[in-house]
Amino acid sequence: MQPTATVLVYSDDSHTREQVRLAAGRRPAPDVPPVSFVECATPAAVLSELDKGGIDVCVFDGESTPMGGMGLCRQIKDEIYECPPVLLLMGRPQDAWLATWSRAEAAVTLPVEPVEFASALASLLRTRKLQSV
């Protein structure tokens, strides 16, 4: 049985979480493992899942409320030892500077565009795989 990569998806909007799952599919690229998803609608749930371990990549919705994904990203980068890479979903391309401020490894704009999203996710999964080797 082939190992899977675990992707944590944070958004207060179930539709956005669904877009992420559909865009990634079972495997975002042929050279990365199949993915499974852990969905979180609150920052507390994200922190709880990260504390458990086993998350390979996080996808955070920058437009979530009450805490946006950018602020949450910056927080986990300070608080989580060996924090997994983060892919941010931004409302506008002009928010790229905020993605940099948050220390996210990658960012794409909403609504989720499947090819762009899958490519960005696969890139982070490759990076994570190389770090664990």
Mean pLDDT of the chain: 94
User: Domain total for the chain?
Assistant: 1
Residue-number span of the structural domain to which 10 is assigned: 5-132
What's the pLDDT tens digit per position in 91-131? 999 989 999 999 999 999 999 999 999 999 999 999 876 55
Q: In this structure, are residues 59 and 9 in contact, taking their beta carbons and an 8 Å threshold?
A: yes
pLDDT at 133 over 60: no
What's the pLDDT tens digit per position in 6-29? 999 999 999 999 999 999 999 999
Check residue 128 and give its pLDDT.
75
Q: Report the pLDDT averaged over residues 30-48.
A: 97
**CATH for 111:** 3.40.50.2300
CA-CA distance, 131 to 125, in Å (whole number)? 10
The secondary structure of 13-43 as a DSSP string is -HHHHHHHHHHH-S-SSTTS--EEEEEESSH
